[in-house]
């Protein structure tokens, strides 16, 4: 495909729940582009369609700032496309996202990025260091997964699932970052926090000065702290930030909801 095709609106062809998932996911892709976290066309975000085993993922070949609610591709856990579309899906994206959606029924959205700071931290043997407030939220629910090459081997899915467990953040060694949460807004905010923690770490290390680790007693209470913040905000806090983020999109990247 050499040109962006016009995709007719699917708003009146899908359920209201699916349409909302499409709008939120398209907005998430646009926000990733606005923040400079995209890697041309090569990373992926998925959102589960409520009360189904189906999920939405990006049309392979579109830049993230081009993605709309109607252009997203609906697939089942086996990777079958469930609606007519001129676009394919990223096979590595299918492997990673189907692995999570197969076993984590509490997860509505999965985000995966290849940012420079994220890959840099993923390549460090000690991983994410407890040196920032942002890192506390991540370390409260962080897992790691060893690099196995481009994620085209479906046998890797079982190992990724086992490594992920019940965590919300994953550091994929030599590869990048992944977050999975109960909603698109929460998953985006989780990635914002993870990304910022990695950026702070790389910048702090670049200065060459001795780093001040967060005291162990504070680290020990990080999970309870994160849980308290989650309860007080009715989630990870994404719902509070999401309307403002959508207003920013309406100004700077309109059309995501078409």
DSSP secondary structure letters along 61-96: T--GGG--TTTPEEE-TT--B-S--S-B--HHHHHH
Q: What is the pLDDT of residues 93-137, one digit of tens each?
A: 889 999 999 999 999 999 999 999 999 999 999 999 999 999 999
Kind of pairing, strands 142-145 and 169-172?
A: parallel
- Does pTM surpass 0.85? yes
Determine which helix (DSSP H) or strand (DSSP E) holds 118, and give its type and residue range: helix 116-122
Rounded to an integer, the average pLDDT of 33-50 is 97
Q: How far apart (Å, rounded) are the C-alpha atoms in residues 114 and 38?
A: 7
Task: Name 45's bridge partners.
Answer: 111
* pLDDT at residue 1, as a whole number: 43
Residue ranges of domains in the chain: 16-252
Q: Supply the CATH classification number for the domain 16-252.
A: 3.40.225.10
Q: What is the pLDDT of residues 57-93, one digit of tens each?
A: 999 999 999 999 999 999 999 999 999 999 999 988 8
* pLDDT at residue 199, as a whole number: 98
Q: Judge whether residue 3 has pLDDT over 80.
A: no
* pLDDT at residue 212, as a whole number: 97
* pLDDT at residue 2, as a whole number: 46
Q: What is the mean pLDDT of the chain?
A: 93
């Amino acid at each position: 495909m050499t040109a962006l095709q016009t995709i007719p609106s699917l708003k009146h062809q899908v359920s209201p729940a699916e349409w909302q998932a499409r709008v939120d996911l398209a907005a998430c892709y646009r926000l990733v582009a606005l923040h400079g976290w995209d890697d041309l066309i090569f990373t992926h975000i998925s959102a589960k369609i409520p009360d189904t085993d189906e999920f939405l993922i990006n049309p392979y070949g579109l830049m993230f700032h081009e993605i709309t609610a109607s252009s997203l591709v609906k697939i089942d856990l086996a990777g079958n496309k469930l609606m007519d579309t001129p676009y394919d899906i990223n096979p590595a994206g299918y492997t990673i996202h189907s692995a999570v959606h197969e076993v984590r029924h509490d997860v509505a959205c999965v985000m995966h990025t290849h940012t420079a700071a994220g890959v840099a931290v993923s390549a460090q043997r000690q991983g994410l260091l407890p040196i920032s407030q942002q890192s506390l939220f991540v370390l409260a629910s962080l897992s790691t997964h060893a690099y196995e090459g481009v994620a085209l081997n479906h046998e890797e899915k079982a190992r990724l699932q086992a490594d992920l467990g019940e965590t919300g953040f994953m550091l994929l060694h030599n590869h990048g970052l992944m977050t999975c949460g109960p909603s698109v807004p929460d998953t985006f905010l989780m990635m914002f926090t993870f990304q910022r923690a990695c950026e702070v770490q790389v910048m702090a290390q670049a200065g060459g000065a001795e780093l001040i680790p967060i005291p162990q007693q504070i680290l020990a209470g990080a999970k309870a702290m994160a849980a308290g913040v989650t309860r007080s905000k009715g989630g990870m806090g994404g719902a509070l930030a999401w309307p403002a983020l959508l207003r920013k999109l309406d100004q700077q990247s309109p059309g995501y909801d078409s």
